[in-house]
Amino acid sequence: MRKFTLAAASATLALALAGCSSSGGGTQSADLGSAPDYTGSISILTAFAGQPMGSYFENVIKAYKAEHPKVQITLSQETDDNAVKDKEKVLIASQSLPDIYFSYAGNWGQNFAENGLAADLSAQIAPSTTWGKTFGAGALNAFKYNGKYYGVPLYNDAKFMGYNKAIFTKLGLTVPSSFEELISDCTTIKAAGYTPIAFGNKDGWPGLHYLQQLFAYNVPRATLDKDLLPKTATWSDPGYVTAMKQFNELITSCTGDGTNSNGVTYTTAQQQQQGGKAAMYYQELVEFDSVNTGGSRLNKDGFGIFPLPAPADAKGDPTTLEAAPEGYMINNKSKNAALALDFMKFATGQKNAAVLSSPPYGQPSAVIGAVTATTSSAAVAEGSAAVNKAPSTVVWLDMATVPTVGDAWVSASEGLVSGGLSPADALKAVRAASEKAK
Amino acid sequence: MTTAPASIRPAVARDVKPVRNRQPVHSRERWRNIVWLIPALAVLAVFVYWPLLQNIVFSFLKWNIYSGEQTFVGGANYAELATDPIFGKALLNNAWYALISIVVQVFGALALAAIVESVRSERMRKAFRSIYFIPSAISLTVAGLLFYFIYQPQSGMLDAFLTSMGLGQYAQAWLGHESTAIFAIIAMSQWQGFGYSVLLFSVALQRIPVELYEASAIDGVGPIRRFFSISMPLVREMTGLMMIVTISGAFQVFNEVMVMTSGGPNNSSQVLGTWLYHAGFLNNDFGYAAAIGVAIFVITLILAILQLWMSRSRRVEW
């Protein structure tokens, strides 16, 4: 079995790569200006597989086909993160990207945009256009590369500390206003028999989310932006080591498993807060409705959110929020690009945007006015408002930079958690990865 | 000890020269045989040899999969392989995998098979074989997930067991620490593959003429001596084959590592297969991934040649 799997993986790699042509992606551009052909067909790849998200696009397609019965739509869904990333890479290599496909903001989307795989949607979705005006400008700008707009932002995402209101009230705690206060609160919470912060770092990236937010607080923004690009990176600012030391302090003082956290999954940590065992859990805005579910202990105790508080002497920007929308791109070689565009306009219409923002989906739509106290849960509405108000945002570390450097940071996060890697050694490994990526 | 009759005396095949069938084959029949082989050869050529050749070509390239742009870089990917500390770590982990698997799945399984086969009751023998074989019927992915829960630091059975035995100081996140992750995975793999090896050795042991054991028993030879003097030499062919298959399998391990740690934490449990996946699908470095693929191919090819050579020279007949 294992021989078969490895052989299959190698063969897939070889066969997928065999599809690569040495001449590049070609120059053909999607025809977005013509009228949609409502007898045509389009294919879609989403990152919404599984429950409860799986039915969202299925329902949107059903509604679209009710209006245009002759349109043929092939839907393919993968789960978020590695599954969808792997699928897209194989599809790129075999030159069979679907007409509409999922994309992260940051370096992931940039690769599509700069290599002729994504259609330039500036004429349709730039903030000054009719369709563009329906989106928050920040969400549109997240998919702006070299002055052009390439993505249709579907929902906003950001990282917040979710907390159990009943535990905070019982212990006489208020929302901490600084990182130091958060650490101090952890001691109080631990003494009361609760896990202060639920944390599972089996996949490495949960630690990365803490690190990127702490980097934004401790490193001047211009330096951070420079370091995210291998060509200009030095990763020499002392703020990185400071941030990693703060991360270590948080792991030691606030998490239940401490250095054992690499053996705990993200979902296990999620369940700790859901069951009322953990006072806090650092989570994404898109997770709020799946953590704070009706009938859960957390739901009864009350669920509140706050951004990870900045350290008192932060040298970076203490108002920055780690946030990034996720969205969809249209294949630059799509034969039915106008139809694909029409479908995305339909999917991001006010009605569908409101459905997406409501439970059980709870994905705060990037469409203005879709997330309200009536359409969304209180936490999703509050988080969404905070994203819109944030003076500046920073993209997830593994998406903000090239994969080699992002991967080095994932390994560093695991090493920092287990105690097997010092902040200085972690930075050294990242510098080496960045040097290689130049 | 009495001498075994010549008819059942073991003989090693290296003393016997193979005799070829020199009978003339009609040329039409010969061509007909070749024609029957062509479809299988064509399938192998398209799905095995052609991708293999392409993979070798890719290992000399650097390219951007997004643009399709390919650049010939000569042996740069191989030079990187030689200096990559994680490739070295992965190779070492595969070697650990092979070593532990030989001890447990070859010699441990042989010893257990001998014990199982020495049980007098046939019903009990069958029951034991089935009990040991059941883990092998579970898919590696499922076994990986199962052991992930057993190794969990909060609610895992292993830490709970250690704590209940007063060994709580050893309780830890077995998959979450650099020093234990790969060994925790190897342990799961032994549990999963052990029963299969026991079954194969049981079959080999059953083929040994019972007269040998009876004669040695009459001579007063104890069970341990019987194991070393009769069982082990007469299953030498199977032992050799199992060693090669085990070593070869250890260098192709992939599933269990992906399911349990994905090579983490901090790349401590990377093996060649996962590092290949990592380089290609996570770091977009497909040229380097192809070079790792070639390295795996060379290692397993050497092992396969060794396997063929050993299976020729260790044939036992009686």
A19 is a domain residue: no
B178 CB neighbours in chain A (<8 A) are 415, 418, 420
Q: Which residues pair with A255 in a beta bridge?
A: A197
Question: Exposure of A98 by Cβ count < 10 A (0-12 exposed, 13-18 middle, 19+ buried)?
Answer: buried
B285 touches chain A (CB under 8 A): yes
* A23/B68 touch (CB, cutoff 8 Å), yes or no: yes
A2 CB neighbours in chain B (<8 A) are 140, 249, 252-256
Claim to verify: residue A167 and residue A295 sit in the same structural domain: yes
Distances in Å between the Cα of A93 and the Cα atoms of A134, A236, B24, B67 are: 34, 36, 52, 9
Q: What are residue B301's phi and psi, to 5 degrees?
A: -65, -45
CATH of the domain at A73: 3.40.190.10
The pLDDT-based confidence of A285 (bands split at 50, 70, 90) is very high
The token pair at B48 is 């095995």
Domain boundaries of chain B, sorted by first residue: 25-50, 77-317
Interface confidence: ipTM more than 0.90 = no
Which candidate, B278, B46, B22, places its Cα nearest to that of A86? B278
Claim to verify: residue A343 and residue A313 sit in the same structural domain: no
Collect the ranges in chain B with pLDDT lower than 70.
1-25, 311, 313-318
Contact call for residues B51 and A15 (beta carbons, < 8 A): yes
Nearest CB to B70: which of A20, A204, A259? A20
B281 CB neighbours in chain A (<8 A) are 85-86, 89
B169 touches chain A (CB under 8 A): no
Count how many domains chain A has.
2
Claim to verify: residue A88 and residue A234 sit in the same structural domain: no
Contact call for residues B62 and B73 (beta carbons, < 8 A): yes
Q: B77-317 adopts what CATH topology?
A: MetI-like fold (1.10.3720)
- What's the number of CA atoms in the CB half-sphere (13 Å) around residue A140? 23
Contact call for residues A230 and A405 (beta carbons, < 8 A): yes
State the SS3 of A94-129. CCCCCCEEEEECCHHHHHHHHCCCECCCHHHHCCCC
Claim to verify: residue A113 and residue A230 sit in the same structural domain: no
Claim to verify: residue A349 and residue A240 sit in the same structural domain: no
A387 is a domain residue: no
pLDDT in tens, A336-382: 999 999 999 999 999 999 999 998 898 999 999 899 888 889 999 99
Dihedral (CA of A56, A62, A67, A72) sign: positive
The token pair at A407 is 């991967």
CA atoms of B194 and B106, how far apart (whole Å): 8
Q: What are residue B225's phi and psi, to 5 degrees?
A: -65, -40
pLDDT greater than 90 at residue A11 = no
Instruction: Report the chain A residue with the minimal C-alpha distance to residue B181.
Output: A263
Contacts of A295 (CB under 8 A, 6+ apart): none
Contact call for residues B239 and B110 (beta carbons, < 8 A): yes
A407 is a domain residue: yes
* B252/A403 touch (CB, cutoff 8 Å), yes or no: no
Claim to verify: residue A125 and residue A212 sit in the same structural domain: no
pLDDT in tens, A22-74: 433 445 678 898 999 999 999 999 999 988 899 999 999 999 999 999 999 99
At position B222, the amino acid (one-letter code) is G
Claim to verify: residue A239 and residue A275 sit in the same structural domain: yes
- Host H or E run for residue A76: strand A72-77
A251 CB neighbours in chain B (<8 A) are none
Nearest CB to A264: which of B153, B256, B282? B153
A385 is a domain residue: no
Domain membership of residue A330 as a residue range: 28-157+324-370
* B286/A261 touch (CB, cutoff 8 Å), yes or no: no
Claim to verify: residue A95 and residue A146 sit in the same structural domain: yes
A12 is a domain residue: no
The rounded mean pLDDT for chain A is 91
Nearest CB to B178: which of A10, A14, A420? A420
pLDDT in tens, A118-169: 999 999 999 999 999 999 888 999 999 999 999 999 999 999 999 999 999 9
- Buried/exposed code over B277-309 (b: 16+ C-beta within 10 A; e: otherwise): bbbbbbbbbbbbbbbbbbbbeebbeebeeebee
Dihedral (CA of A428, A430, A432, A435) sign: negative
Q: Measure B255 CA to nearest chain A CA, in Å.
A: 6
Give contacts of B 216-235 with A, CB under 8 A: none
Claim to verify: residue A55 and residue A89 sit in the same structural domain: yes
Contact call for residues A73 and A64 (beta carbons, < 8 A): yes
Q: What are residue B169's phi and psi, to 5 degrees?
A: -65, -20
Q: What are residue A161's phi and psi, to 5 degrees?
A: -90, 115
Contact call for residues B54 and A9 (beta carbons, < 8 A): no
State the SS3 of B100-150. HHHHHHHHHHHHHHHHHHCCCCHHHHHHHHHHHHHHHHCCHHHHHHHHHHH
Claim to verify: residue A134 and residue A273 sit in the same structural domain: no
B202 versus A80: which is more confidently predicted? B202
Claim to verify: residue A45 and residue A119 sit in the same structural domain: yes
At position A12, the amino acid (one-letter code) is T
Claim to verify: residue A140 and residue A225 sit in the same structural domain: no
* B273/A421 touch (CB, cutoff 8 Å), yes or no: no
